[in-house]
């Protein structure tokens, strides 16, 4: 397996190198041709839109300042389908609250009476500081250890009374750039749907992050790290280091290291949570045997009061 991965990586690297060389040669040939036609050595000018010396100087000063494009979630003013030639499902209803939270609602009558919920947070391991490796994933664990409406492990006990359990019905995952929380409702009664909405809102901004609970969960996360320390993961890390050595991904292990997990302070959880678990970084999804108008009204009622911090995470 290691040999095959190495061969694949080398082939990909050579292919990218040759493509870059071909592109550079083609670009140089085109520039040379343009320069000859314009009669200007090493320069080309658009005769239909000539640039004055003042405009050229202003453009150079702008380029010197670097790329100032806003890459935060608030810069995305449209849904992906609005800029695509692939139309969205006509049954899908999407919207954005005044606080920036996006929602998607899809009615689906089968399986009967079942409803799926997702809360997507646009933040993961890449949003951690260098000394916080594993924080985003550790924080995900803490969402099951004390919320505004359910202290300690009370959440799991309440869910179990409605036929929901950790794993098949209640779960979450963290990656490099996102954290997603999942609820699978066994029925679509008002009581169960209300419960799911309460939990989802608490996950957005109602985590208690109790110091004692953090310390109790620390050993659980370290055990998960050690149990998952397998050849496959180590090969993946080496492949990233070979293919994209300058990428931040090579310095971020989603689950962290034993050292980083042991040194994470409780205040770091609080700060990361406040900076990144915000309406502008959240997308709420509901799909299943539902009435769209009723669910949309409940989304607005449940999430409209959520606020964004003055200094959100970048």
Q: Report pLDDT digits (tens) over 6-35.
A: 444 444 444 444 344 444 444 444 444 443
Vertex 16 angle, CA 10 and 22, to 5°: 135
Average pLDDT of the residues in 116-121: 98
Q: Which residue has the higher pLDDT, 18 or 186?
A: 186
Q: How far is CA 101 from the centre of its chain?
A: 14
In this predicted model, what pLDDT tens digit does every residue of 130-160 receive, in sequence order? 999 999 999 999 999 999 999 998 999 999 9
Spatial separation of the C-alpha atoms in residues 32 and 42, rounded to whole Å = 7
Options 128, 140, 213, 268, the catalytic residue: 140
pLDDT of residue 234: 86
In the predicted structure, residue 100 carries a pLDDT above the cut 90: yes
Burial (CB count <10 Å: 0-12, 13-18, 19+), residue 103: buried
- 170-174/102-107 β-pairing: unpaired
Asked if 55 is an active-site residue, the reply is: no
The pLDDT confidence band at residue 229, using thresholds 50, 70 and 90, is: confident
Give which of 132, 182, 168 is closest to 287, Cα–Cα.
Answer: 182
Average pLDDT of the residues in 89-112: 96
Structural element, H or E, at residue 284: strand 282-288
Average pLDDT, the chain: 82
Spatial separation of the C-alpha atoms in residues 201 and 302, rounded to whole Å = 7
Letter string b/e over residues 167-179, b meaning 16 or more CB atoms within 10 A of that residue's CB:
eebbebebebebb
Spatial separation of the C-alpha atoms in residues 74 and 241, rounded to whole Å = 31
Entry pTM: 0.75
Task: Tell me what percent of the residues of the chain surpass a pLDDT of 70.
Answer: 75
Average pLDDT of the residues in 232-245: 90
Range from 62-66, 262-266, 278-282 carrying the lowest mean pLDDT: 62-66
């Amino acid at each position: 397996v290691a040999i095959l991965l190495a061969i694949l990586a080398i082939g990909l690297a050579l292919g990218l190198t040759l493509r870059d060389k071909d592109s550079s040669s083609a670009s140089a040939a085109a520039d040379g041709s343009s320069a000859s036609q314009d009669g200007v050595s090493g320069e080309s000018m658009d005769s239909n839109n000539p640039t004055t010396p003042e405009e050229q100087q202003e453009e150079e000063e702008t380029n010197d300042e670097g790329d100032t494009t806003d890459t935060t979630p608030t810069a995305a003013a449209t849904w992906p389908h609005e800029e695509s030639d692939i139309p969205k499902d006509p049954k899908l209803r999407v919207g954005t609250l005044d606080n920036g939270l996006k929602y998607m609602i899809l009615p689906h009558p089968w399986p009967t009476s079942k409803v799926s919920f997702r809360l997507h947070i646009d933040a993961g391991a890449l949003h951690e500081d260098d000394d916080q490796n594993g924080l985003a994933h550790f924080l995900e664990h803490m969402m099951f250890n004390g919320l505004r409406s359910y202290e300690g492990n009370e959440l799991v006990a309440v869910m179990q009374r409605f036929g929901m359990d950790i794993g098949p019905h209640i779960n979450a995952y963290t990656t490099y750039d996102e954290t997603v929380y999942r609820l699978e409702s066994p029925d679509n009664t008002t009581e169960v749907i209300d419960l799911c909405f309460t939990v989802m809102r608490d996950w957005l901004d109602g985590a208690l992050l109790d110091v004692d609970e953090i310390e109790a969960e620390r050993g659980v996360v370290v055990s998960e790290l050690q149990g998952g320390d397998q050849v496959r993961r180590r090969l993946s890390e080496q492949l990233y280091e070979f293919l994209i050595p300058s990428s931040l991904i090579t310095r971020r292990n989603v689950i962290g290291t034993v050292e980083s997990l042991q040194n994470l302070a409780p205040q770091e959880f609080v700060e990361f949570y406040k900076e990144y678990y915000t309406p502008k970084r959240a997308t709420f999804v509901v799909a299943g045997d539902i009435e769209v108008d009723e669910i949309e009204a409940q989304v607005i009622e449940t999430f409209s009061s959520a606020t964004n911090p003055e200094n959100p995470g970048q």
